[in-house]
Amino acid sequence: MDKQLLVFLISSVFFFVEPICAQRADSLRVYKKPVVQPLDTVNPGVYPPSWWTGMEYDTVELMFHAKKIKTSNLIVEPEGLQILSDDTTENANYRFIRCHIPADFSSRVYHFTFENGNGTSVTLDFEVLGPKKHRPRSIDGGDVMYLIMPDRFANGNPKNDIVAGMKEVTIDRSDVFKRHGGDLSGLISRMDYLQDLGVSAIWLNPVLENDQFLTSYHGYAITDHYKIDPRFGSNKDYLKWTNECRSRGIKVVKDMILNHCGSEHFLIRDLPSKEWVHAFDEYTKCNFRTPVLMDPYAAKTDIDRFQRGWFDVHMPDLNQQHPRVSTFLIQHALWWIEHAGIDAYRVDTYPYPYLDFTNSWNEAILRDYPSFSIFGETWVNAPAIQAYFSEKNHSFPAGSNAPALTDFQTHFALLSALTEPPTWTSGVSQLYLTLAQDFIYNAPEKHVVFLDNHDKNRIWSTLEQDMDRWKMGMTLLMTIRGIPCIYYGSEILLEGVGGMYGEQGRVSFPGGWPSDSRSAFQPDERTHLEQEAFTFLQYLINLRRNYPALSHGKLTQFIPQEGLYVYGRTGENQQFIILVNTSDRPKRIDPDQYQEVWDTPSPAFDHISKSRVDRGVYFLDPGSTQLLQIEKASSAG
């Protein structure tokens, strides 16, 4: 057996077995049909901790969690808060109290005291704030998004690398499955770098508490929906970062997980009710087969396993059809928007929760924040399956209302264009065919397009360190329809291939740690290739942001010819033509064939070579790219 294959197989088994072995034995009880066994030790809390006046969502269900409060006498001080209901479940540690908060209500703190007959009591505070003030800034094609894995970007506060009492206490930057120590303080310290690059929106992988035993760095196994993980910082640190973004005109994208949470979440360790999570008689993993939702021939058992199976052994599947679970997730999303000034949510594993729930979740958000942006992650394998989740698509009866998606179909097509030999259906033809199917979407220009991300191999490695191909890919990314997203470090050619979810690409940014031998944040410490890549991408970003035709203009594509792909972006007084030759032979370019996008005798300026191109027949070298701007009297290159 090939040695590399053997190592991969062994590491894959280890990746899935290690979390199972490491979980606390008493959390294994939720793998079977849940049984509510209230914990004796509970950290008291109220969720959400506050709300605002002036919200369309003006009736809030407060979840109180404290030891044995089910039969406690409730006293609310001061008076005046309108309580609509006070409910309990089979778990004695919970109370669910619904309150109405009208627009004209006064801001104040309400003390909820739960008194037991033995003279003990616990008081939990809920604050009414107001009125709501946040006005999200919509994210559209004019933006360039930058995806950051916070644990791997920059460590600004080494003191919070290891936090006493948390379950994972290892820092090891040589291991992609261990924490590296990046945090919000480090991110804040590098905002000048990001602004200099030119990005206008930043998407962070989740930063909420992930108090799991292993692989807690990635953030997708939440253990507290209202608390920033202390190894990243505090809620105040997060507000400091979002305020810093706002002051620089940079929009904030928060990663949202609706399908599952961490097995060490207090809601799992101390289940409010057995219906809170899905569970089979034995631990059952999701089959990850999204097509069962629209397959007219799908077996009910396959649908059931897709919708109710767990994402992983340490990620229980939440039951969004339970009204309290649904309410909890909706309120949590609204709270963070107003509390931190969020502009957009990227929704993880969008197809996995029930569609009627995600529709309700979207509606609740857009009712209060009409300009808010939502991108659903749809990692599926066909355009029609992806479009099933697209907003108001008339082709499907399901009626999904997702405003936008993370466009994996265009991602796959871009990789095919850059790495596969051109045929009728592969190479640049796959990109052409994928974009030709945009009719199945209501608004394809809202989709997020990307070359790599935290779940995929890094593009520089995928392209085998070929700078011409890398420049071709970045040119395509910055000039096709949609909202381009850059994975942190792609601008300096970070490498990484391998892992079940691209883990080998989740490397530390050089210079983000005081002990690093050099800092790629600084131009004079980058290698020649790193600086060439940074300067090239920085130029493309600014070009896209300064010329609306490249971000919002009409897209006209021509049928690829043996590896040559040509398309135009045209807007008011702006005309661009993009030519990519993915073949290994020179290609004859006759502008008369592209009169729809080069309709004047004017020459063009090539933003790649920084040279003038006369309107006449010429040859385009193999593996080369041109980004031509038709010269007007007022816009010479």
Cβ neighbours around 294 below 10 Å, total: 16
Cβ neighbours around 586 below 10 Å, total: 14
**499 in Cβ contact with 176 (< 8 Å):** yes
Query: In this structure, which amino acid lies at residue 381?
Result: N
Respond yes or no: is residue 348 known to be catalytic: yes
Helix (H) or strand (E) holding 82: strand 82-87
Instruction: Identify whether 48 is preceded by a cis peptide bond (ω within 30 of 0).
Output: yes
> Which residues 6+ apart lie within 8 Å of 170 measured at CB?
178, 179
Burial class (CB in 10 A: 0-12, 13-18, 19+), 568: buried
Query: In this structure, which amino acid lies at residue 355?
Result: L
Q: Which of 275, 377, 407, 530 is catalytic?
A: 377
Query: In this structure, which amino acid lies at residue 247?
Result: S
Residues linked to residue 50 through DSSP beta bridges, in sequence order: 127
Helix (H) or strand (E) holding 307: helix 300-308
Query: How far is residue 172's CA from residue 180's CA, in Å, rounded to a whole number?
Result: 6
> Which residues 6+ apart lie within 8 Å of 631 measured at CB?
602, 603, 604, 605, 612, 637
For 12-27, letters b (16+ CB in 10 Å) and e give eeebeeebeeebeeeb
Angle at the Cα of 485 (from 457 to 496), degrees rounded to 5? Answer: 20
Cβ neighbours around 579 below 10 Å, total: 23
> Which residues 6+ apart lie within 8 Å of 463 measured at CB?
418, 419, 469, 470, 473
Query: Which residue, 193, 203, 159, is CA-closest to 344?
Result: 203
Q: Which of 264, 348, 391, 491 is catalytic?
A: 348
Count of CA atoms in the C-beta half-sphere (13 A) of 462: 22
Angle at the Cα of 460 (from 454 to 464), degrees rounded to 5? Answer: 130
C-alpha pair distances (Å), 290 with each of 276, 302, 304, 319, 588: 23, 10, 11, 18, 44
**155 in Cβ contact with 190 (< 8 Å):** no
Residues linked to residue 344 through DSSP beta bridges, in sequence order: 253, 373
Query: Which residue, 90, 96, 85, 65, is CA-closest to 326?
Result: 96
Cα radius of gyration rounded to whole Å, the chain:
26
What one-character DSSP code corresponds to residue 526? Answer: S
Respond yes or no: is residue 377 known to be catalytic: yes
Q: Which residues are catalytic?
A: 348, 377
